[in-house]
Structure 1
Amino acid sequence: MTDRFRSGAGRLCLDFIRTLRYRGTPSESEEFPDAAAWGAWIDQFGPFPAPAQPASVDEARALREAVHSLLTGEVRDPVRRRLNRFAALPVPAPSLTSSGELRWQASDPASAMLALLARDALDLVTSPEFGRVRRCAGPRCGALFLDTSRPGTRRWCSMEICGNQAKKSTYRAKATAS
C-alpha cells in the first residue's frame, strides 16, 4: 500500500502543513478537500488502531494555517490563541492490551490528533531544532522541512523529487549553454 500523503519533513507538524501542497506557488493544491481526506491523513499518521471518521475538516485546516503562521514567524494573538486552544484538547491515552500490545485511544480521534499536532508545533518552535527548519529551495515547492543533516546545509525537502528536479534543470541549462 502506498501512502496517500507525503511524509519525511522531520516532524509531524511539518508533514501536516505540507497538506497544502506547493503553498504559495501557482500549483498550490488542497489535500484536505473534505473530512474523508482529513480522516485518511489521521489514519496514515496517527497512533489509532481504528480508522478515524472526523465530522469536518474545518478545524484541521484552521490548525494547519496557524501552525504554518507560527513556523514562518507570523504569529499574532488570534494565531497564538488558536494554537493554545488546540494544544489544550485531550490527547490520546495509551493502554496495554491483554496480549501486551500498546494501543492509543481517544473518544474523538480527530480532536486528539489536532492536540498532538499543536503540541508538536509548540514544542518545535521552542526547541533548538527550530533553527534548522528550512524552506525547500525547489522553485515550485514551498514546503518546510527539518534539516537533520550534520552540516545543516540541506536545500530540498526531498532529494528524490525537488533535489532531482533542480539537478536536472542545472544539467539542462549547462547543456543548452554549451
Structure 2
Amino acid sequence: MNDEGGRREGRQRAKTDFRFDDARLCFAFAGTLADRGADVHVERLVLPEDLSRWCVESGCTTAAPVCTEADLERARALREAIQRTGRALADAAPPAVEDIALVNGAAAEPTSVPELSADAASVRWRGGGAGAVLSMVARDLIALCDSEHRARVRICGNPACGTPFVDTSRAGARRWCSMKTCGALVKKRAYRARARTTADGE
C-alpha cells in the first residue's frame, strides 16, 4: 500500500518512488523523470510495469492496466511534451507546435470514467488501459492552459529538480515543487552550509 506521496508503507521513500506531493496531475507525471537539472537523471518509468503502477498510484484508475513497451514509449513522449510546455508557460513563451499536437493527440483518447459505490461513499475509476490514463494527464494540462493558473506555472527552485509546478500560494512566492522534498532538501543544505561557515569562523 502507498501513502499520498507514493511512498510504500513501512519504509523510507526511495528516489525511484513516484511523487504526488502538492502537484497537479500533469506535472506529477512530468516528475517521473527526476533530477532533470543534475548530471544524471532518475528514470522512474523504466518498465511497462512502472507505468501500470503509476496509473494506479496517481488515482487515475483502480485496476492496474496491462502496459506494453509501446505504451511506455508513448507515455515518455507525452511526459517530455508536458515538461517542455510547462517550462514554456513558466517562461511566458509559446510552446512548441509539436508538443501541443502530441498533447492534443493523447487527450483525444477516451478517458477512465468514475463509478460511484452503492453507498455513495467512494469512487472507483474504470478505464481502457494506459491510453485512458494518459488522456486524463493530457487533459489536465489542457485545463491548466485554459485557466488563470497558467500564469502561475513555475520551475522548481531546486537546481537539480527542474519540475514544473503551479504556485497557488496567496503571495505567489512559492519556490519549490514540494516543500516536503525539494524545499526541505534545499533548506537543509543551506542550514549545513551556514553551520560550516560558523564553524570555520570559530
- Under TM normalisation by the shorter chain, which class is it? 0.7 to 0.9
User: Letter of the aligned partner of 2:87 in structure 1?
Assistant: T
Provide the C-alpha distance between the structure 2 equivalents of 1:160 and 1:9, rounded to a whole number of angstroms.
9
Aligned ranges for residues 2-151 of structure 1 at < 5 Å? 2=2, 3=6, 4-56=17-69, 57-73=72-88, 75-96=95-116, 100=120, 102-106=123-127, 108-151=128-171
How many residues matched?
Answer: 177
1:124 CA drift (Å): 0.9
Tell whether the 8 Å contact from 1:9 to 1:144 is kept in structure 2 after alignment: no
1:165 CA drift (Å): 2.5
Superimposed CA distance per residue, residues 104-152 of structure 1 (whole angstroms, 9 cap, x where no aligned partner) = 322x221111110111011112211122222111122222222222211
Question: For 2:26, what is the secondary structure of its paired residue?
Answer: helix
Provide the C-alpha distance between the structure 2 equivalents of 1:43 and 1:70, rounded to a whole number of angstroms.
25
1:8 CA drift (Å): 1.9
Provide the C-alpha distance between the structure 2 equivalents of 1:10 and 1:146, rounded to a whole number of angstroms.
8
Name the TM-score, length of structure 1 as normaliser. Answer: 0.88
- Flag the 1:28–1:103 CA change in 2: closer, same or farther, 3 A: same
Partner of 2:195: 175
Mean Cα displacement is larger for which, 22-31 or 88-97? 88-97
Name the TM-score, length of structure 2 as normaliser. Answer: 0.78
- Flag the 1:153–1:46 CA change in 2: closer, same or farther, 3 A: same
Give the alignment partner of residue 165 of structure 1, picking from 155, 172, 185. 185
User: Letter of the aligned partner of 1:131 in structure 2?
Assistant: A
Tell whether the 8 Å contact from 1:25 to 1:141 is kept in structure 2 after alignment: yes
Give the unaligned 5+ runs of structure 2.
7-16, 89-93
Identity %: 37
Provide the C-alpha distance between the structure 1 equivalents of 2:167 and 2:45, rounded to a whole number of angstroms.
26
Provide the C-alpha distance between the structure 1 equivalents of 2:189 and 2:117, rounded to a whole number of angstroms.
53
1:51 CA drift (Å): 1.8
Provide the C-alpha distance between the structure 1 equivalents of 2:57 and 2:162, rounded to a whole number of angstroms.
22
Question: For 2:111, what is the secondary structure of its paired residue?
Answer: coil
- Flag the 1:139–1:71 CA change in 2: closer, same or farther, 3 A: closer
